[in-house]
């Protein structure tokens, strides 16, 4: 029977969700989280400490899951299938959609234990085509799927202020929304499956454009005798400002700290997805295609572990000019 039931989130009872059965609501409280990387780990930690949620975690490198379990008190699962056993909602946060797809099959895979009526929420910054393929496979077993990539960085995950971009059935989103609210502040339904992935990729392509163009501009200005801190002071009071100029360059480039919070390899992947979306939609996109090429080069030059802002080091190398 469907009826209005209290909606409970990390802050307590906050309202009602119409047309959700009590059973359905309770099912969304048993959660499996797979992928405890730079951003997955603090997201899972928010879930672990939310009232009323029972959490199981799985990570490819088991030691990371074990240390998470010790720190946050979640059940540590041996395999994806073990994590998903009795879970109403499975959340994944892996580098690329293909990694999620590879977790579905086999005795240790998610499909071995995910029951009909459960939901897979993929917080990977994924690609729309693979998300649609995963959703179709799950639908054959009456398992729901939402692509739900996030923005806001590792600090946003720690503080529970991420933006979550969701593609898929809006009613399904309503059902899992209280879970997403444990780590997200702004949760937006973007359209059908794949829409969240597409929007996320374009957002990150804009980040990449700003990092690269600000780097080129500041290198040129430094060669022309303008100090980067002076240039940023003016740009940030003017129309050329961006998150790159206001936060990333002052905090990470000028200080030469380059903290590793979001791998360049992942931004390369995101810009590649955005360039692919534009090509697929037959939208002329020379700037997106060029940015994808530049970030592919930076990734190859600087390696798997470099942070995304370190792409600026390639500009500095080419220019023979440090931005400091
Ligand atoms: P990391 O590289 O820090 O972590 C990746 C995680 O995925 C690790 O837990 C890793 O396990 C696991 N993993 C990698 N490959 C596989 C595989 N083939 N099979 C199973 N597990 C695998 O990535 P992030 O946490 O930074 O990023 C995760 C996703 O979130 C990406 O799509 C990224 O684009 C997105 N994102 C990241 C942000 C950030 O600030 N970091 C911000 C917004 C989105 P192991 O421990 O064994 O290596």
Tell me if residue 98 falls in helix, strand or coil: helix
Q: Best substitution site from 95, 263, 270 to test ligand 1's pocket, by max atoms within 8 Å of Cβ?
A: 95
- In the chain, % of residues over pLDDT 90: 91
| Residue 200 annotated as catalytic | yes
Tokens of 124: 């990977």
Q: Hey, whose CA ends up nearest to atom 43 of ligand 1?
A: 151
Residue 118: which residues within 8 A CB-CB, separation 6 or more?
27, 84, 87, 88, 89, 90, 143, 144
pLDDT digits (tens, 9 = 90+) for 177-188: 999 999 999 999
The answer to pTM > 0.75 is yes
Average pLDDT, the chain: 93
Cβ of residue 38 lying under 6 Å from some atom of ligand 1: yes
Point out the catalytic residue in the list 185, 186, 200, 313. Answer: 200
Confidence of residue 12 (pLDDT cuts 50, 70, 90): very low
Residue 131 in contact with ligand 1 by CB distance below 6 A: no
Report the separation in Å between the CA atom of 200 and the middle of ligand 1, taken as the mean of its atom positions.
15
Ligand 1 site, residue 80, Cβ cutoff 6 A: no
97 CA distance to ligand 1 middle (Å): 11
Whether ligand 1 lies within 6 angstroms of the CB of 35 is answered as: yes
| Stretch 229-251: mean pLDDT | 98
Ligand 1 centroid distance, CA of 240 (Å): 32
- Residue 258 vs residues 24, 77, 113, 203, 313: alpha-carbon distances, Å: 45, 34, 42, 21, 10
82 in contact with ligand 1, CB cutoff 6 A:
no
Q: What is the pLDDT of residue 26?
A: 63
User: Looking at residue 7, what is its pLDDT?
Assistant: 43
Pocket test for ligand 1, best of 58, 60, 274 (most atoms within 8 A of CB): 60
- Above 70 in pLDDT, residue 155? yes
Does the structure show a pLDDT above 60 at 212?
A: yes
Nearest atom in ligand 1 to the alpha carbon of residue 35 is 9
Instruction: Provide the pLDDT confidence category of residue 18 given band limits of 50, 70 and 90.
Output: very low
Atom 23 of ligand 1, nearest CA residue: 37
- Cβ of residue 148 lying under 6 Å from some atom of ligand 1: no
In this predicted model, what pLDDT tens digit does every residue of 255-302 receive, in sequence order? 999 999 999 999 999 999 999 999 999 999 999 999 999 999 999 999
Instruction: Please name which of 211, 201, 203 lies closest in space to residue 308, comparing C-alpha atoms.
Output: 211
Q: Which residues contact 151 (CB under 8 A, 6 or more apart)?
A: 162, 163, 165, 200, 203, 204
User: CA angle, corner 161, sides to 158 and 164, nearest 5?
Assistant: 110
Q: How far is the CA of 289 from the centre of ligand 1 (A)?
A: 24
């Amino acid at each position: 029977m469907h009826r209005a039931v209290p909606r409970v989130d990390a802050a307590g009872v906050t309202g009602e969700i119409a047309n959700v059965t009590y059973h359905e609501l309770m099912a969304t409280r048993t959660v499996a989280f797979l992928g405890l990387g730079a951003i997955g780990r603090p997201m899972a930690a928010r879930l672990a400490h939310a009232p009323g949620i029972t959490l199981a975690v799985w990570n490819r490198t088991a030691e990371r899951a074990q240390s998470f379990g010790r720190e946050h008190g979640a059940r540590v699962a041996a395999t994806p299938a073990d994590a998903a056993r009795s879970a109403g909602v499975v959340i994944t946060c892996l580098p690329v959609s293909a990694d999620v797809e590879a977790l579905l099959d086999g005795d240790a895979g998610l499909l071995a234990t995910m029951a009909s009526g459960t939901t897979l929420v993929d917080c990977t910054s994924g690609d729309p085509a693979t998300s649609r393929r995963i959703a179709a496979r799950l639908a054959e077993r009456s398992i729901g799927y939402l692509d739900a990539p996030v923005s806001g960085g590792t600090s946003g995950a720690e503080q529970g202020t991420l933006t979550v971009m969701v593609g898929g059935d809006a009613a399904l989103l309503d059902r899992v929304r209280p879970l997403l609210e444990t780590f997200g502040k702004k949760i937006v339904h973007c359209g059908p499956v794949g829409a969240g992935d597409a929007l996320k990729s374009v957002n990150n392509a804009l980040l990449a454009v700003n990092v690269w163009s600000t780097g080129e501009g500041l290198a040129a200005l430094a060669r022309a005798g303008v100090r980067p801190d002076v240039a940023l002071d003016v740009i940030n009071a003017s129309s050329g400002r961006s998150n790159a100029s206001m936060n990333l360059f002052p905090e990470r480039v000028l200080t030469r700290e380059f903290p590793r919070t979001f791998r360049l390899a992942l931004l390369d992947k995101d810009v590649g997805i955005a360039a692919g979306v534009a090509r697929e939609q037959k939208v002329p996109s020379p700037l997106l295609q060029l940015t994808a090429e530049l970030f592919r080069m930076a990734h190859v030059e600087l390696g798997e572990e470099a942070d995304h802002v370190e792409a600026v080091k390639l500009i500095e190398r080419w220019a023979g000019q440090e931005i400091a």
